[in-house]
Structure formats: C-alpha cells, structure tokens
Amino acid sequence: MKRLLSVFLLFAILSLHTQPAFGQSDGPQISLLDRSGKTVTSIIDGNQVRLRIRLDADVNAQTRIAFTTPNVDGPLAECVIQTGSDSCDTPPFHALGWYWDPDGSAQTQRMIQASVNGSQASGSLTVNVIPRPVVMVHGFNSDYTAGTNYLGPNG
C-alpha cells in the first residue's frame, strides 16, 4: 500500500510540471519586419516597417488582426488572416512618432499588442525605439551661428 501511494504521488508531481515540446508556442507570435523583410527588435523613429502575426493553428474563416500600442489612439496597422492560413503581414508603413508619446514624453520602448477579431490576443512584442536624427542646416542668408538659438548653452 505504501509503495502504491509513493507511485501515485510521484505520478501526480510529474504530471503537474509539464514542459512544452521544442518548437511549440504559447500563443500568437508578433514580429516586426524592416523594409527588407528581416525580423528586428530595434528601430529608428520613422523607419518603414511591417508587422506580422503567426497564430498557433490555421483559421477556419477570415480573421481580422489589429496591432495597437498603449497611449496611442487607434490601430498602428491591420491585416487579415485568410481562411486556411495561420499568419498575415501588414502593408509597409512608417513608424513615425513611435519615439514620442502624445504628451511629448520620450518612449524608448513600445509594446505592440494584437487583437484577433476585436479580442485582445495573449502575448506582445517590445520594440526598442531610437529617436529620429535631426540635421540642422543654416539657410542661404545665415551662417553656422544660426543654430545657437536652437541648441542652447549645452549644445
């Protein structure tokens, strides 16, 4: 009896801690693609990008995907997963303004979430965002000192 109880207890413990098989995912996978189609996790504000989502299984009907980020109204981009497929890519778009929140504060990271037919999907993607570089050029009737009005005492 004691041996039977030990075997049962061992089986119960082992069944509670299961590991997913290699290659299985835990939900939708969101990817950010650069203009050449390569997956990236860091961009410069304004880069041309596409978003991709891959679900765990093929869908039985057209499925609308909307990508959003907190503190930004409306979707960043949308795509539709066709019947019998498990993924879709958005059309290319410029990630212009991703470095700045609507209140003017800097955002070095953006969390991208997806909704599937209006329901929030599990998982998200965190993207590092570098500010867009600014190049100042003096005008025709000015010289290099014209930039001091914009730069301030610390450059």
Q: What percent of the chain has pLDDT above 70?
A: 76
pLDDT at residue 9 greater than cutoff 90: no
133 or 37: which carries more pLDDT confidence? 37
pLDDT of the residue at 79: 97
Asked, for residue 76, whether it belongs to a domain, the answer is: yes
Domain residues for the domain of 94 are 26-128
Which domain CATH number covers 114?
2.60.40
Asked, for residue 145, whether it belongs to a domain, the answer is: no
Asked, for residue 119, whether it belongs to a domain, the answer is: yes
Asked, for residue 9, whether it belongs to a domain, the answer is: no
Provide the 10 A C-beta neighbour count for residue 96.
12
Q: How many domains does the chain have?
A: 1
pLDDT in tens, 41-58: 999 999 999 999 999 999
pLDDT of the residue at 27: 81
DSSP 72: S
Average pLDDT over the chain reads 85
Question: Are the beta carbons of 80 and 46 closer than 8 angstroms?
Answer: no
pLDDT of the residue at 107: 92
Q: What is the pTM of this model?
A: 0.72
Question: Are the beta carbons of 108 and 14 closer than 8 angstroms?
Answer: no
pLDDT band, residue 21 (cuts 50/70/90): very low
